[in-house]
Structure 1
Amino acid sequence: MAEDSAHLPAEILLSKRVQEMVLNDEEPPAPYKCRQDAESEDDDDSLSASPIPIIDLSRLSSSQEPAQETEEELQKIKLALSSWGCFQAIGHGISGSFLDKVRQVTREFFAQPMDEKKKYAKAVLEFEGYGADPVPEEGQSLDWSDRLFLNVQPADQRNYKLWPSNPDSFREVLEEYTEEMKRVTELVSRAMAKSLNLDEDCFLRQFGERSQLQARFNYYSPCKRPDLVLGLKPHSDGSGYTILMQDEVGLQVLKNDKWFKVPKNPHALLILMADQMQIMTNGIFKSPVHRVLSNSERDRISVVVFYTPEVGKEIGPEDGLIDDKTPKLFKKVKDYADIHWGYYQRGMSALHAAQV
């Protein structure tokens, strides 16, 4: 079976879920094999104390915090996003019990029989629904993962036919999580602006009144050859920024040509810059390349929310970040996420398309 599938085109392979291949004890077919290096799974104990910055958002939202401490936290944000392009957020105001509930309904959905999940299946060329990303261009590898992708904001863009009815609490939990994400994006967007000495609402205005939130529920099956495949290939995101919750270690961020793992912190949220924030900040904040490793022993889930400017909204570098000494690095662009996707399908970055 494995040898036969090795020669099938990606379109046919993507009609079968990775979970199905694992249940059938199949070897990863050729289009999934993308790793040519001899890297380990990053189990080095010396890396257990991750350098990924941690930011306490509660110090930014509390009126009782001393001004000096608030300013210190803002400067930590600026340093984190200009060097790492990400930070782990604690004190975000979402209870640990509710985050556990989000993880629980995610696991319950992927634990269902394949026939139940396929009720929400997408066609190979479609994006929203259950399945895998649309087929990349020839020569690009496939990800060792399954996902459920849903538009959640604006509310009138939701396709409830694709929202699972099992588990029966899924819809209620996702609607509540969407409200929490809206609050967090407002808090983080204002904090980022203040860290750069800009008007606190400037980024929110660029995202627009009908800014988009898309939720992606990822399931990474175990793989008996984790040295050959990746749960998610190296890339930067095309959104404004991304809010990610994981249950186990697996995500890695590239910095100075070295991969760093994002540690397990069940009740933290990873705030990850994407290309459009790099454009809005005129290159001050970085959109980091990241990837997801596979593991031979255990599965893994993550819940990712992409925060993206409203459709048709023009975005560009903030005027307050440009002067005679600091020229404009990026031009104004519309619907950059679509531009990014075209390049992503070819295994390429799209930022150069927005450069001056």
Structure 2
Amino acid sequence: MSLQQAEPISVSKSVEKMSTYGDHPPSQFIVKETQFGSIDTSPPLGPFPVIDISHFSNSSSQEATLQLEKLRSSLSSSGCFQAIGHGISDSFLDKVREVAIQFFALPEEEKLKYGRAVNESEGYGSDRVVSEKQVLDWSQRLSLRVFPQNKRRLNLWPQNPTQFSEILDEYAMKIKNVTEVLFKAIAKSLNVDEDSFSNQFGARALMQARFNFYPPCSRPDLVLGVKPHTDRSGITILLQDKEIEGLQVRVDGKWYRVPVICNALVVNLGDQMQIMTNGMYKSPMHRVVTNTERLRMSLASFIEPEPEREIGPLEDLIDEQRPRIYRNVKDYGAINYECYQKGLVALETVKSLVFTSVCFPDN
């Protein structure tokens, strides 16, 4: 039986119920010391710049040059920045947060109408549990495909709150526009054709919206809202909670907090963009911590190519000084999932044989 066909292992009580009763986290949720260090709920604030992406529409201006340099610097080091000037109003972002919180406040039986089926990723629920050794995340999630539009499973889109679908649809369209701006800016920062990345993603690129709910936990020093990982996507755009921090990014072997900036969108690259840039830009390791007092929510939009579309390093980013690091791949999401469950680093498994032979020749 493959990992994707594994029978789920039951967890007797939901995270939400354990939070309500102040239960001590069960052993399945306890994070042991790992290669990525122990839990620290308050590391220093990180080196994540605030970039005004509105200037990218006027690429000849001095301010655009400055913002582009900040973009280049952040993506080649931390792989993460906070975007302002994205054209989405504060009042609309508040509406998005509001309908998410209203949905999570519904009775459990109402939310389970949109429950995730066994071995599927879409719908409401918690982690797919496929291994007795798997450490569970202290979170509940609602994951929905938003693009392509004909792939939407509208039976999983909540009808309560009544504006949920309308607001999510509008938000997704706005994020799609932001993504197009970022693809062109990232290409310009690398001095390649501005359509280089949008062409690799294709006209029918996927976008998955995942609402994350992190209830309070009696022992935030023992559990994580999300375990350390890199994203399988090409690019991830995150709307954070308006007040509560929780996201941490690992830079040069140390964890840093990502601060809350109410009107900003947190942007981090995913593995597929690291492949496309031939490793010049980074897909950062990140995690989410919990707290004892308040529910934290966020909304992550994951943008990636269609599974059957082959992606690989841009030819313009390969030369004698920088040989091809990664081979061309299809359906990287499946590769990433298998590796994650096995404790492997997916990017390491798709390295080019040419790169391996150049960097690690036989003795």
Q: TM-score, normalised by structure 1?
A: 0.92
Distance 1:66 1:191 in 2: 12
Q: SS in structure 1 opposite 2:9? A: helix
Partner residue in 2 for 1:51: 47
Structure 1 pair 39/341, CA: closer, same or farther in 2 (3 Å)? Answer: closer
**Residue 286 of structure 1 is aligned with which of 279, 282, 298?**
282
**Inter-partner Cα distance in structure 1 for 2:265 and 2:322:** 32
Q: Is the 8 A contact 1:10 1:31 kept in 2?
A: no
Q: SS at 2:192's partner residue?
A: coil
Q: Quick check: 1:35–1:230 contact (8 Å CA) kept in 2?
A: no
Q: Name the counterpart of 1:30.
A: 27
Pair 1:226–1:318, CA change in 2 (3 A) = same
Deviation (angstroms), 1:39: 4.5
Secondary structure of 1:333's counterpart equals coil
Superposition pairs of residues 318-333 of structure 1, within 5 angstroms: 318-333=314-329
1:97-108 matches, cutoff 5 A? 97-108=91-102
Aligned residues: 341
Which residue identity does 2:215 align to in structure 1?
A: S
Query: Aligned letter for 1:184?
Result: V
Match of 1:232 among 226, 231, 247: 226
Whole-angstrom CA distance in 2 between matches of 1:300 and 1:240: 25
Q: TM-score, normalised by structure 2?
A: 0.91
Matched, 1:261 2:257: yes
Aligned pairs for 1:123-134 within 5 A: 123-134=117-128
Partner in structure 2 of residue 79 of structure 1: 73
What residue in structure 1 maps to residue 357 of structure 2?
Answer: none
Q: Tell me how far 1:296 sits from its aligned partner.
A: 1.1
CA distance in 2, matches of 1:177, 1:230: 28
Letter of the structure 2 residue corresponding to residue 194 of structure 1: K
Secondary structure of 1:325's partner? coil
- Compared CA separation, residues 317 and 269, structure 1 to 2 (3 A): same
Corresponding residue SS for 1:193? helix
Structure 1 equivalent of residue 209 of structure 2: 215
1:6 maps to none
Structure 1 unaligned segments of length 5 or more: list them.
1-8
Structure 1 equivalent of residue 350 of structure 2? 354
Aligned to 2:10: 12
> Which of 176, 182, 207 in structure 2 is aligned with 1:182?
176
Matching residue of 2:341: 345
SS in 1 for 2:238: strand
8 Å Cα contact 1:57/1:92 also seen in 2: yes
| Number of the residue aligned with 1:335 | 331
1:203 matched to 2:197 = yes
Counterpart-to-counterpart distance in 2, 1:31 and 1:296: 19
Native 8 Å contact 2:209 2:301 kept in 1? yes
Kindly state the Cα deviation for residue 10 of structure 1 after the two structures are TM-superposed: 6.9
Equivalent in the alignment of 2:238: 244
CA distance in 2, matches of 1:282, 1:300: 35
Find the residue that maps to 1:310 and give its secondary structure.
coil
Q: Deviations over 1:197-229 (max 9, x none)?
A: 010001000001110000000000100011110
CA distance in 1, matches of 2:19, 2:117: 21
The structure 1 segments of at least 4 consecutive aligned residues displaced by more than 4 Å after TM superposition are none
> Which residue type is aligned with residue 274 of structure 2?
Q
Give the partner amino acid of 1:310. E
| 1:40 shift after superposition | 3.8
Q: For the residues of structure 2 that align with 1:77 and 1:106, how far apart are their CA atoms?
A: 30
Deviation at 1:16, TM superposition (A): 3.9
Identity of counterpart residues, as a percentage? Answer: 50
User: Residue deviations 1:55-82, cap 9 Å, x none?
Assistant: 1101112x3x753321221121111000
Residues in 2 aligned to 1:350 and 1:330: alpha-carbon distance in whole angstroms: 11
Unaligned runs of 5+ in 2: 1-6, 353-363
Shift of 1:146: 0.1
Per the TM alignment, residue 17 of structure 1 is displaced from its structure 2 partner at its CA by: 2.3
CA contact (8 A) 1:219 1:301 kept: yes
- Where does residue 96 of structure 1 map in the other structure? 90
